[in-house]
Amino acid sequence: MVKFRTTVDKNGRIYIAKPLRQSCIANTIEILPNAKAAVIYEAGTRIDDILSSLRVIMADLRNRARQEAEQDR
């Protein structure tokens, strides 16, 4: 899974990388944030579909965490 890094500009705006913008087939996205993370999805996407995608992302994050823990040993 690809990871993108961006910064917040002096006006508090973020830049969404071109590959992410191009992968979205809709002109409208929704962003659901909390204090530590955010979910970006096409407006109108079914919640079950978002949850399915999040399960894939969570599995990848668990794998990365496991690899980091093994490297720290």
Per-residue pLDDT tens over the stretch 2-32: 888 888 899 999 888 888 777 766 778 899 9
Q: What is the pTM of this model?
A: 0.77
Tell me, what's the pLDDT at 19? 80
Per-residue pLDDT tens over the stretch 33-58: 999 999 988 899 999 999 999 999 99
Rounded Cα distance, 21 and 29, in Å: 10
Tell me, what's the pLDDT at 25? 65
Strand, helix or coil for residue 38: strand
Separation of CA 51 from chain center: 13
Cβ–Cβ under 8 Å, residues 65 and 58: no
Higher pLDDT, 23 or 63: 63
Q: Assign residue 44 a region (left: φ > 0; alpha: ψ between -120 and 50; beta: otherwise).
A: left
